Amino acid sequence: MMPRDLQMDWLKCFVAVVDAGSLSSAAGEVHRSQSAVSMQLKKLEAALGRQLLVRGPRHLQLTADGQTLLGYARRMLDLHAETQAVFGGETLTGRVRLGVPDDYATRYITPVLKRFAPRHGAVEIELNCEQSTALIPRVASGDLDLALVSRDHARRGTLLFHEPLVWVGSAHFELWRRDPLPIAVYEAASLARRSAINSLALQGRRYKVVYNSSSLAGQIAAVESGLAVAVLTQCSAPEHLQILGSEHGLGPLEPMQVAVYRSRASQGSRAVDSLRNLIIRTLRSSGSD
């Protein structure tokens, strides 16, 4: 039997619940009561003849059918919003000050901006590339409106996905055989640095910091030159570098919690709202987690 036509309100509630993680949190996002959101989900499931969410006492989990629908739902809502913008006669304007570390810029922010710019050409984007440790306080102070960062606190920002960390070395230099192990690290507050040192400590492996740099290019240069091994986010590790693991005597690393942070000062900005929502929709459906 063919499914019934799907209403946009059903899809909006479905995506809001997935993004917010609960019916109560989603209710505020779509300006409906919790019971109304629940009813919309039931109508959507009835129209498709499939269960989309498993509702536990403390969490919601997508079924396989729900995961399949999620990608389609986001695309339909994006196209719906784009159509409204074209024919609504209302142009989004303003400026968004966006922060992102170098290692997330190409892989994650570029696809978002490619989708945002054609729809909202009157919005000025000011892009700031720095490490998460520098971006987070800038969002807190209102110097930036949004930032995609490796979050430093489990309850801050909106979690999007987990980004694996990997040990990398040059295949031309078997530095992993050395004792102590020469390592390149980011700044002292870096979560990647902390993860690397904690991993080595758990192994009881001796190491020596031979290179410090807050830049991704600097880390890669240290590895390419045979100076050290380093820890990079998986998305930023160049293909020509060797991924090192247990067979090289190196232990596992804690992944990064990638989240979007928003400043309180930017509340009420429709341009910031639009870009933040697009970041969430795009990156939560990217399959990175």
**What is the tens place of the pLDDT at every residue in 139-175?**
999 999 999 999 877 667 888 999 999 999 999 999 9
Kindly list the distances between the CA atom of residue 7 and the CA atoms of 61, 88, 116, 272, in Å, as whole numbers in the listed order.
22, 20, 24, 27
8-state DSSP, 105:
I
Q: Is residue 17 part of a domain?
A: yes
> Which two structure tokens, joined as six digits, stand for 158?
């909106």
Of the candidates 150, 123, 112, the one whose C-alpha atom is nearest the C-alpha of residue 279 is 112
* Residue position matching structure tokens 């986010």: 233
* Residue where a domain terminates, one of 41, 69, 88: 88
148 with 219, same domain: the answer is no
Q: Is residue 3 part of a domain?
A: no
250 with 263, same domain: the answer is no
146 with 268, same domain: the answer is yes
Question: Which has more confidence, 31 or 131?
Answer: 131
* Residue where a domain terminates, one of 54, 88, 122: 88
> What is the rounded average pLDDT for all residues in the chain?
88
Asked if 26 and 19 count as a contact pair (C-beta separation under 8 A), the reply is yes
Question: Which has more confidence, 159 or 91?
Answer: 159
82 with 140, same domain: the answer is no
71 with 101, same domain: the answer is no
| Whether the predicted model's global pTM rises above the 0.85 cut | no
Give the C-alpha separation, 169 to 228, whole Å: 7
Structural domain range at position 75:
8-88
Give the C-alpha separation, 11 to 52, whole Å: 11
Highest mean pLDDT among 1-10, 50-59, 194-203, 268-277: 194-203
250 with 208, same domain: the answer is yes
Q: Is residue 203 part of a domain?
A: yes
Distance of CA 117 to the CA centre of its chain: 19
Q: What are the tens digits of pLDDT across the range 266-289?
A: 988 989 998 998 899 888 744 444
> Which two structure tokens, joined as six digits, stand for 18?
């997935």
> Which two structure tokens, joined as six digits, stand for 192?
């990647």
Of the candidates 95, 79, 77, 96, the one whose C-alpha atom is nearest the C-alpha of residue 147 is 96
Does residue 52 register a pLDDT over 70? yes
Give pLDDT, residue 90: 61
The total number of structural domains in the chain stands at 3
The half-sphere exposure of 234 on its side-chain side, counting CA atoms within 13 A, is 15
213 with 70, same domain: the answer is no
Give pLDDT, residue 125: 95
